[in-house]
Structure 1
Amino acid sequence: MTVVTLMWEARAAEGRGAELLEWARAQPLPTEPVRRETFTAPGDRVLVLTWWQAPCDAALPELPEPAADLVTRPVHRWRFESHGTA
Structure 2
Amino acid sequence: MTVALMWEAKAAPGRGGELLEWARSMSRELPCAPLRRELLRAPQDRVLVITWWDGPYDADVPELPDPAPDLIARPAHRWRFESVEA
If the TM-score is normalised by the length of the shorter chain, which range does it land in?
over 0.9
Query: RMSD in angstroms over aligned alpha carbons?
Result: 0.6
Distance across 2 between alignment mates of 1:74 and 1:7: 14
Equivalent position SS for 1:24: helix
Structure 1 match to 2:19:
20
Structure 2, gaps ≥5 residues long? none
For residues 44-78 of structure 1, what are the alpha-carbon distances to aligned partners after superposition, in whole Å with 9 as ceiling and x for unaligned? Answer: 00000000011100111000000000001111000
| Paired-residue identity, % | 64
Equivalent position SS for 2:19: helix
Query: After the TM superposition, which parts of structure 1 deviate over 4 Å for at least 4 consecutive aligned residues?
Result: none
Equivalent position SS for 2:23: helix
User: So what's the TM-score if we normalise by structure 1?
Assistant: 0.95
How many aligned residue pairs are there? 84
Structure 1 match to 2:43:
42
Distance across 1 between alignment mates of 2:84 and 2:16: 33
For residues 5-50 of structure 1, what are the alpha-carbon distances to aligned partners after superposition, in whole Å with 9 as ceiling and x for unaligned? Answer: 0000000001110000000000110010000000000110000000
Distance across 1 between alignment mates of 2:83 and 2:44: 28
